[in-house]
Amino acid sequence: MPLEHRHALSILHHDPLDTPEHPTEELLTAQGRLGRVHSIEWGSMVDGPGLRCAIFLSGCLLRCQYCHNPDTWAPRNGRLVEVEEVIDRLRPYLRMMSLGHGGVTLSGGEPLYQDRFAFEIFKACRGLGLHTALDTSGYLGDRASEEDLDLVDLVLLDLKSGDPDLYQRLTLKPLEPTLRFARRLAARNHPVWIRFVLVPGLTDPVDNLEALANHVAAWPNVERLEVLPFHQMGQYKYEAMGIPYPLANHPEATADQVRQVVEWLRSRGVPAV
Ligand code: SF4
């Protein structure tokens, strides 16, 4: 039994205030009815197909060198909201999402850090007929059951590196959980877009691109691989937070470098864009 469910049961057992009329914050969180939202972006066109609402949930276990959202790392760095409030805030944009052939994307941080909350939001989105996308590193993919994944129309899987050693250096976590999640998605023929950040001099060695191409070639469910250029838009956040930024003053990826990598991947049969 997952830890959070055990926790919920133990709370139910020992706390007389945990009646349906007086659920505690801890119980609501364990049930996924309450969670921390860092921010919401309306009208995103870069977080999946169409015009979307991107909801950034708090908490992440990775420490990617190029992360431009370090302010989402801390689990408590966000507003505590109920699923109903999230959905109420989506309602004025339902028409925009429908006309724009979009939907809702959960991102972060790492949305699976608050897995119960994430899937409760998706369940409610499905109730509104919205397309759902999960933007994840896949590191916590084991937390998603098959039934949970049934609530997700598209997985945006961030593959930081194809080479396991580089992945570890880049994120301070191992690559294997992400590969395991990707294999599960492939086995269930789940629609996936891979996202890869091109950092010149860091993620662009040909060995790494080869490894990336080999992984993707084994997953026929991958509809596309997006090569995203590394940029420095998050640098000010590190300065404001007073934490070291490993890629301070590192060169950004140019449009030409991205185009070359896309062409190279396409020449290997990868549906890169
Ligand atoms: S997984 Fe995303 S939020 Fe977490 S450190 Fe990496 S880039 Fe940042």
104 and 196, same domain (yes or no) = yes
Question: Does residue 174 form part of some domain?
Answer: yes
Q: Within this chain, do residues 13 and 89 fall inside the same structural domain, yes or no?
A: no
Give yes or no: residues 3 and 47 share one domain: no
- What's the Rg (C-alpha) of the chain? 19
Are residues 224 and 155 part of one domain? yes
Per-residue confidence band for 182, with pLDDT thresholds at 50, 70 and 90: very high
Q: What is the mean pLDDT of residues 109-125?
A: 98
8 with 68, same domain? Answer: no
Same domain as 69, residue 6: no
Q: Are 116 and 143 in contact (CB under 8 A)?
A: no
Instruction: Say if residue 23 is in the same domain as residue 133.
Output: no
Exposure string for 208-239, b = 16+ CB within 10 A, e = fewer: bbebbbebbeebeebeebbbeebeeebeebbe
Helix (H) or strand (E) holding 156: strand 154-158
Q: Which strand ranges, in their side-by-side order, compose the sheet holding 222-229?
A: 79-82, 34-44, 52-57, 103-107, 131-136, 154-158, 192-198, 222-229
Digit-coded pLDDT (tens) for 209-243: 999 999 999 999 999 999 999 999 999 999 999 99
Structural domain containing residue 23: 1-31
CA of 15 to the centre of ligand 1 (A): 36
pLDDT at 23: 81
H/E run at residue 197: strand 192-198
Mutate to test the pocket of ligand 1, among 47, 62, 136, 197 (most ligand atoms within 8 A of CB): 62
How far, in Å, from the CA of 73 to the mean position of ligand 1?
8
Task: Calculate the alpha carbon distances from 115 to 46, 74, 148 in Å.
Answer: 23, 16, 9
Q: Is the CB of 198 under 6 A from ligand 1?
A: no
What is the per-residue pLDDT for 75?
Answer: 95
Q: How far is CA 257 from the centre of its chain?
A: 25
Would 273 be classed as within a structural domain? no
Token pair for residue 202? Answer: 């860091």
Q: Are residues 110 and 4 in the same domain?
A: no
Same domain, 18 and 87: no
Instruction: Tell me how many domains the chain contains.
Output: 2
Instruction: Identify whether 272 is part of a domain.
Output: no
Q: In this structure, is residue 238 part of a structural domain?
A: yes
**252 pLDDT above the threshold of 80:** yes
pLDDT in tens, 20-40: 566 888 999 999 999 999 999
| Domain assignment of residue 190, yes or no | yes
CATH of the domain at 83: 3.20.20.70
225 plus 247 within the same structural domain:
yes
> Across-strand partners of 132?
104
Residue 253 lies in a domain: yes
Cα of 110 from ligand 1 centre, angstroms = 7
Is the Cα dihedral 227, 233, 235, 239 positive or negative? negative
Q: Considering only CA atoms, which residue is closest to atom 6 of ligand 1? A: 64
Please give the distance, rounded to the nearest whole angstrom, from the Cα atom of residue 245 to the centre of ligand 1.
Answer: 13
Same domain, 253 and 231: yes
Same domain membership, residue 206 and residue 163: yes
Instruction: Please return the burial class of 82, using the count of CB atoms within 10 Å of its CB with bins 0-12, 13-18 and 19+.
Output: middle
For the segment 193-207, the average pLDDT, to the nearest whole number, is 98
> 121: exposed, middle or buried (C-beta count within 10 Å: 0-12, 13-18, 19+)?
buried
Across 28-32, 98-102, 145-149, 197-201, least confident range = 28-32
Query: Residue 36 domain-assigned?
Result: yes
Q: What is the pLDDT of residues 79-100, one digit of tens each?
A: 999 999 999 999 999 999 999 9
